[in-house]
Chains A and B, each alone.
Chain A
């Protein structure tokens, strides 16, 4: 028996006896000549009857109209049921009272009987439906939260950056050419590549990594690109030590640096620079990745960049920001701002267990 069921039965077993005990007292005072055990028997029979009838109503509701959110349906249903239940109780109680109290004209008390029974039935029904209503709205809310968190989780998974296969392809070819020319560097290159692959695999399982970890991946990545672009790639790096423990989405920085190289270094004949800066400013982690170039619309309509923004907001809330802009005449800057007042990213909301 679950909690809801328990509460229901406790209410039934406490409320009815209490309510009817009032009746029992009145009768025992008014009809002194009737023996007490008859009245007590009457009392118990009425308790059982009331619980039985209201319970039947509950079974009916549970079976046939679970949807009780529309008050235009519920109000008439409640009134009608109260009338019916009152009539049934009256019809059963009149003969009983005639027998126990030897009342002469029970018909004359018809309305007081109906009123007497209609009142608790109506209260019962109203309470029942109110409880039901609160329960369903709560269930709906919980369901909504569950669905939302599920959707967010799925979305975050989809948005998680994947390692660009072209990069792997190019890096392998560079390393191949390096094997004869500089075997040590080639060996190092393979290690760096395996490090990047490892981070990329871990990225599927982790929501965040520290900036320090992410920077190691980026450094490996840049070292490999340096093999390919040689003097055409210039790297500037300015990461404040206090930012290395901040949490960032895995592979996000790598994607942005890759983007910077794609637009800033691979296109101009002389190459260009990529600069990575990070610092803490007013409880906010600021990461800036700049590259040579002029900002322009891409064929994909900036899909990857929108992804990055979405991913940040999913993990760190609406205060997280991502933007890309022309920071100087020939410098494009991608800026990531992550609020640090809650250094832990939001976990999936705790779901209250409702049976």
Chain B
């Protein structure tokens, strides 16, 4: 299973990679530090799984998902902080409702 990690913090990506070492099935094919990098990599690498942070500089995680064209990989949100603005949650609901099969939060 090809996985892509999207997080703006290098240390957070490293930590996730380290944790994923215990899961040989998951093969990390790339890392992205922001949404634009991620969109490009998703297009190139066609990952099956996306480890996605929500709060990122530039586009946030939800905006990234909205701007994806074609196949959307499975998404696991890796957001740890609770300071997600409330306006995001309604958007999240909208994305989940409009595309239920793609999400496993």
Residues of A bordering B, CB below 8 Å: 166, 169-170, 173-174, 176-178, 180-181, 227-230, 232, 266-269, 271, 299
Contacts and interface: CB of A to CB of B under 8 A. Distances in A.
Interface string B21-49: 00000000000011010000000000000
Contacts of B58: 267-269
Interface string B59-100: 000000000000000000000111101000000000000000
Contact of A176 (B15, B33, B34): B15
A180 B18 contact: yes
A145 B83 CA distance: 42
Contacts of A180: 18
B81 A181 contact: no
A266 B57 contact: yes
A181 B9 CA distance: 14
Contacts of B85: 299
Contacts of B80: 169-170, 173
B11 A181 contact: yes
A180 B85 CA distance: 32
8 contacts: A166-B83, A169-B81, A173-B11, A174-B9, A176-B15, A177-B12, A228-B9, A267-B58
A117 B81 CA distance: 86
A284 B30 CA distance: 53
Contacts of B33: 269
B83 A173 contact: no
Contact of A268 (B9, B36, B57, B82): B57
A189 to B, nearest CB: 11
A170 B11 contact: no
Given A166-B81, A232-B57, 14 more contacts: A169-B80, A169-B81, A173-B11, A176-B15, A177-B11, A181-B11, A227-B11, A228-B11, A230-B9, A230-B10, A267-B57, A267-B58, A268-B58, A299-B85
A177 B14 contact: yes
Contacts of B81: 166, 169-170
A181 B14 contact: yes
A69 to B, nearest CB: 53
A180 B11 CA distance: 11
Nearest to B16: A177
A170 B55 CA distance: 12
B35 to A, nearest CB: 9
Nearest to B11: A177
Contacts of B57: 232, 266-269, 271
Nearest to A229: B9
A299 B9 CA distance: 25
